[in-house]
Structure 1
Amino acid sequence: MEPNVLGDVFGSKDFFRGLAVFLDTYSNHNGAHKHGHPYISAMVSNGSVGYDHDRDGTHTQLGGEHTGCEAKFRNKDHETQILIRYVGDKLSIFKDVEGQGVWKNCMSVEGVRLPTGYYLGLSAATGDLSDNHDILGVKLFEQEYARVERENEGDRQAIEPQADFVASPRDHAEDPRPSKLGYIGLFVLVLVGIIVIVGLLFFGAAFIHQRNERSRKRFY
């Protein structure tokens, strides 16, 4: 990813080139997810793929729509941690949000190919929901790994970021527009509907009762 470029994706640029790991605290999806928030997910882009905020990135999520994990890291009295490990074209993410010093697997995806010459960036942004997080520290480690180079992959710095397993592509669908009536107008409309239904039931019951009374008088 390019350094120091602000944008709309959690404070960083959209259509980036590289790997992004998202710690999403709020659901923007209009409807129920099969997971709760905060939620950790990842995305790989070669600069031609954008992040869809309205679907919380599920259109481009690394490993598939359900690859990721819930991580209740908000409002804790202790430090919460995330570990990102990239070794041998395999991306693994672990979390420690309970403050017990125990890493729990969040996600693991094979076939993630990233070029060398990385920039590491951290960014954040809030919308209507105001939130505050502090980054207390970042640690980087190099892990020894005997890589077997693939054909035409001698220069890792020149390869395009790509991943073998991503969410199935889907077109963006606009959310239905909210009613122009507003909450008050909608309440009045529902109230009028209830009054009309009760009125119909009342007059229907009165009509049936009156008809039964006439039938009794004719019988006697």
Structure 2
Amino acid sequence: MRFLSAILLAATAVTSFICAEAQLPMRTHSIAMPYIDDDLQNHWFDFGGDTIINTNRQIRLTSNQQSQVGFLWSRLPIVDDNFEVEFEFRVHGSSGHLYGDGFAMWLVKERLGTGDVFGATNRFDGLGIFFDTYDNERAHRHTFPYITSMLGNGMAVYENDKDGRTTELVEGCEADFRMKEFPTRGKLTFYRNNYLQLDVMWKEEDVWTQCFKAYKVQLPERMYLGFTAHTGEVTDNHDIVSVEAKSLTAKPIEAAPVVNVPKPKRSSGGFFSFIFKLLVAAGLVAVLFVGYRLYENKNRMKRF
């Protein structure tokens, strides 16, 4: 019995070790309160623009004021092939119908400067995930707020006036994450050569909803993690409360779901149908020829 108990204890220890190894914290890409050290800086992240740090509450990328831009960027790139980034955010402001513009999460080859794509520059190389709260195009079949994504190659342009509709990586999701009384969260999971998935907590606390999932997404080998936001004529507070990144152990390749596309109908008959049509045409020509000869003979008889 003692020997059996020892084996069970050893197996439990090994299982616990394996589970612990499955998710290793990435301190270099995680941030939480109080966010800054005695020098008013963070060892692993840079922030700037209109960003305001409240050491007891949040990193406010933009305040509820017009024409603001704020950013939070990791100082080091992510080099892991498989990882998860979970972040708590808060978007709030006016309770009216006009608010915006939203914020973005980035995994890009180079850190971006300030610009008009949710506070970052256009023509980026890597992944942008946009938590969009303002409808610019007014022609969408979905409501806002809306979460969408784009895989940039350094040349493709995100079109603000179309809310990125023409460059969307996969279909996004409607998610009313504004003005919630409970923590709202996003969780990005990436397995290289496998899949990319975004889950969001916005319906109720501790309930995750899958927003989108894309297969075989090729991200840069080294990528910087960032969060940016901007306001224009409409405004909101865009807050990042915490970021927790983890390195994941590789898992078996998951096959993309098979989409059943109706096969085009094959033309019936094939070669024999062609021969039949040819014979019909020849018969028609023969009938016309015989009719013409009869007509000519009849005219000759009338002359005599």
Unaligned runs of 5+ in 1: 149-220
The TM-score, its normalising length taken from structure 1, stands at: 0.62
The TM-score, its normalising length taken from structure 2, stands at: 0.45
Alpha-carbon deviation of 1:69? 0.4
Moved over 4 A (4+): none
The residue aligned with 2:134 is 26
Alpha-carbon deviation of 1:79? 1.3
Alpha-carbon deviation of 1:78? 1.6
The structure richer in strand per residue is 2
- Alignment partner of 1:108 is 2:213: yes
- Alignment partner of 1:53 is 2:157: no
Alpha-carbon deviation of 1:146? 5.4
Alpha-carbon deviation of 1:99? 3.4
Among 87, 98, 117, which residue is 1:9 paired with? 117
Pairs aligned (count): 144
- Alignment partner of 1:83 is 2:187: yes
- Matched position secondary structure for 2:134: coil
Rounded Cα–Cα distance in structure 2 between residues aligned with 1:147 and 1:94: 20
Question: Is the contact made by 2:123 and 2:156 (CA closer than 8 Å) also made in structure 1?
Answer: yes
Question: Is the contact made by 1:88 and 1:147 (CA closer than 8 Å) also made in structure 2?
Answer: no
Rounded Cα–Cα distance in structure 1 between residues aligned with 2:252 and 2:218: 13
The residue aligned with 2:229 is 124
Identical-pair percentage: 39
Rounded Cα–Cα distance in structure 1 between residues aligned with 2:141 and 2:216: 25
Highest CA radius of gyration, 1 or 2?
2
Structure 1 residues 9 and 104: alpha-carbon distance in aligned structure 2, compared to 1, 3 A threshold: same
Question: Is the contact made by 2:182 and 2:204 (CA closer than 8 Å) also made in structure 1?
Answer: yes
> RMSD across aligned C-alpha pairs, in angstroms?
1.6
Among 134, 139, 142, which residue is 1:35 paired with? 142
Higher relative contact order (Cα pairs below 8 Å, separated by 6+ residues): 2
- Matched position secondary structure for 2:141: coil
Q: Give CA deviations for 1:49-72 in whole Å, capped at 9, x if unaligned.
A: 010001000000002xxx010111
- Name the stretch that deviates more: 15-24 or 73-82: 73-82
Alpha-carbon deviation of 1:32? 2.8
Unaligned runs of 5+ in 2: 1-107, 254-304
- Matched position secondary structure for 2:248: coil
- Alignment partner of 1:69 is 2:176: no
Alpha-carbon deviation of 1:128? 1.4
